[in-house]
Amino acid sequence: MATLNSKIPEGPLAEKWTKYKASQKLVNPANKRKLDVIIVGTGLAGASAAASLGALGFNVKVFCIQDSPRRAHSIAAQGGINAAKKYPNDGDSIGRLFYDTIKGGDYRAREANVHRLAEVSNNIIDQCVAQGVPFAREYSGYLANRSFGGAQVSRTFYAKGQTGQQLLLGAYSALSQQVKAGTVKLYTRKEMENLVVIDGKARGIITRDVRTGEIERWFGHCVVLATGGYGNVYYLSTNAMNSNGSAAWQCYKKGAFFANPCYVQIHPTCIPVHGDYQSKLTLMSESLRNDGRIWVPKKKEDAEAIRAGKKTANDIAEEDRDYYLERRYPAFGNLVPRDIASRAAKERCDAGYGVGTGKAVFLDFKEAINRLGKDKVAERYGNLFQMYQKITDDNPYETPMMIYPAVHYTMGGIWVDYELQTTIPGLFAAGEANFSDHGANRLGASALMQGLADGYFVLPYTIQNYLSAEIYNDRIPTTTPEFDSAEKEVKERIQKILDVKGKKTVDTLQKELGHIMWDYVGMGRTKEGLEQAIPMIQALKKEFWSNVRVDEGNECMNPELEKALRLADHIELAELIARDALQREESCGGHFREEHQTEEGEAKRDDQNFMFVGAWQYKGENETPEMHKEDLNYEFIKVQQRNYK
């Protein structure tokens, strides 16, 4: 088995990043102009990387599938962004943020990366404030903080319930400035369809213009993948309709290893599913758990009565309510990490205590409204309450919200080393697209932190280190055989889909995949289930290639074709998720194997055998991929059972 070199710098943990920066190679300004950097994706990681690299003087080309960079799904993040600013003087520090993130990730993240993340977290807040991000403030005029799941300090900065939006708009504005300055070229409504590898190095991409179907070739001295996660494999998720893992999958097929695909985060506070026609699930920010209390009825007959519509939440007396998170985890209560809160909700519903359709629990603000007053609650969560009411037609000020877990984030992704470089030299991955910082579970308000850390403060250094050797290489014309064949692959794949002319629409097949994934590779996984799922997914793949129906051709705006191209990749990716879940004979973070739990129903890790990153290598069409292990060595942290009790 090949060993993966994570290129972690030597030395004490707290000095690694400083040392790296001091010894990395740089590119002089005159040479920067001669180097092309391709960035795919304009979310927090992509936009911030493009802006920063553009400002440094590199020639950046940035691509997004939407009509504007500002629409990337980072915009939907609600709650906040963590930083170890310790403004509230409540005992926070870089070390504690580092520790919380590692522990939150169930000891499956790389120490050095996480520490670097905690170190630069403060710079992110400084940067964003300087860009004009209107973070919430106290009357003093200083920044306000709130607390989030998995932490006992208040370190989360927020901008109403729209923190992701504000941070993304900050990065977008920085990007726009560079576009105007001419250092960044912006290409919208173009979807990456293939990676071009020349002499073992990533040298460009092939895109499809979603307006015209035109297939185009682009050269770059290096390529940055910032295309987000693959949650949409599950069909119903909190991801946007266009979020997809296709670009990452194409890179995987070109030789980039895919790490920990089974680590999928199921977010505990989403609006429950209510019909077959539903296209997506809406997240209710985790910040709601600051003041909301989660409960189900104590008595089964009450739960049944509520489901039947005979009783409402307000009919259940206080002593008949089971605040199960507070009961099971008195230390963290409603603020336990996401994986734990999700599983606890599933456990109660599976046991027959669910409300609504049976797959929902209450999130109650009555106590908060009594304690703080309706105005204060409205000030904190007004827009979330309004959104909830728009969707469900229920007023959360009067009746408790109903919530249920839903697929939200993928901790797994393209394997990267300390420099965020993948196993293909010159191909970098940032943000949710890589696997690096969250281990098996991501803490709330950490995704924004990671995306911006990668884009603003990590890639500008590490890419330079790579590009310093590239100054001797001129731009490669996009007419080389490698570009030819990459483009041909794309055209053939499109033609193959169009030629199927089957009977099932893409959405139908996508839903079928979603059902398999949610039922067998969802919150609770078993060996038998996973072994069943893999052939089912393979059968679905066959069905896709023989029975998918995509009308109209390639030469026009054709969303069905876009979806089909993504689904083809998602089906393959689904199989890898199942394989990875099967291989990981333990429960950790977002990955819960029902065989591996304590008597109390908590996740049971197996540090002896599974303290590694599982990085999968593509071996060819219909071949079993090979898994490589990157062992995780915890030098500075004492590994222990995660305990939020």
Partner 1 sequence: MDFTLKIWRQENAQAKGHFETYKLTGISPDCSFLEMLDILNETLINDNIAHPVVFDNDCREGICGMCGLYINGRPHGPDDGVTTCQLHMRRFKDGDTITIEPWRAKAFPIIKDLVVDRSAFDKIIQEGGYISATTGGVPDANAIPIPKQDADEAMDAASCIGCGACVAACKNASAMLFVSAKVSQFALLPQGKPEAKRRVVKMIKKMDELGFGGCTNTYACEAECPKSIKKTNIARMNREFICSKCTSNEQ
Residue 5's nearest CA partner among 418, 414, 424 is 418
Smallest distance, partner 1 to C-beta of residue 213, A: 11
Q: CB of 2 within 8 A of CB of 132?
A: no
Within 10 A of 499 (CB to CB), how many other CB atoms are there?
A: 10
Helices (H) and strands (E) in the chain, counts: 19, 20
468 is a contact residue toward partner 1 (CB under 8 A): no
By CB under 8 A, the count of residues binding partner 1 is 85
Smallest distance, partner 1 to C-beta of residue 142, A: 5
Of the pair 131, 597, the CB lying nearest partner 1 is at 131
Binding residues for partner 1 restricted to 63-92, rule: CB under 8 A: 66-73, 75-76, 85, 87
Q: Which stretch binds partner 1 (CB under 8 A): 190-198, 257-265, 390-398, 631-639?
A: 390-398
Which uninterrupted H or E stretch holds 402? strand 401-410
Q: Which stretch binds partner 1 (CB under 8 A): 193-201, 214-222, 387-395, 463-471?
A: 387-395
DSSP E strand boundaries for 8-86: 36-40, 59-63, 81-82
Q: How many whole angstroms separate alpha carbon 109 and alpha carbon 42?
A: 25
Q: How many whole angstroms separate alpha carbon 573 and alpha carbon 562?
A: 17
Which residue among 321, 338, 348, 642 is the active-site one?
Answer: 338
Kindly write out the interface string for residues 289-328 of this chain, putting x where it contacts partner 1 by CB under 8 A and - elsewhere: ----------------------------------------
Binding residues for partner 1 restricted to 579-598, rule: CB under 8 A: none
**Using the 8-state DSSP alphabet, how is residue 525 labeled?**
B
Parallel, antiparallel or unpaired: strands 361-364 and 293-297: antiparallel
Smallest distance, partner 1 to C-beta of residue 425, A: 25
Kindly write out the interface string for residues 213-252 of this chain, putting x where it contacts partner 1 by CB under 8 A and - elsewhere: -------------------------x-xxx----------
CA distances from 350 to 23, 252, 300, 345, 523 (A): 55, 37, 12, 9, 12
Query: Both tokens of residue 591?
Result: 């990955």
Binding residues for partner 1 restricted to 488-527, rule: CB under 8 A: 505, 507-508
Smallest distance, partner 1 to C-beta of residue 501, A: 12
**Using the 8-state DSSP alphabet, how is residue 193 labeled?**
E
Smallest distance, partner 1 to C-beta of residue 353, A: 24
Among 50, 159, 264, 411, binds partner 1 (CB under 8 A): 159
Q: Which stretch binds partner 1 (CB under 8 A): 134-142, 244-252, 321-329, 475-483?
A: 134-142
Among 22, 23, 30, 277, binds partner 1 (CB under 8 A): 277
Of the pair 249, 457, the CB lying nearest partner 1 is at 457
Q: CB of 402 within 8 A of CB of 363?
A: yes
Backbone dihedral region for residue 132 (phi beyond 0: left; psi -120 to 50: alpha; all else: beta): left
Smallest distance, partner 1 to C-beta of residue 299, A: 29
Concerning whether 338 is annotated as a catalytic residue, the answer is: yes
Binding residues for partner 1 restricted to 161-220, rule: CB under 8 A: 162, 164-166, 169, 172-174, 176-177, 179-180, 186, 188, 211
Sorted by sequence, the CB contacts under 8 Å of residue 56 that are 6+ apart come out as 32, 460, 464
Binding residues for partner 1 restricted to 525-564, rule: CB under 8 A: 549, 551-552, 556-560
Q: How many whole angstroms separate alpha carbon 595 and alpha carbon 531?
A: 14
Smallest distance, partner 1 to C-beta of residue 383, A: 9
In one-letter notation, the amino acid at residue 206 is I
For the annotated catalytic residues, the residue numbers are 338
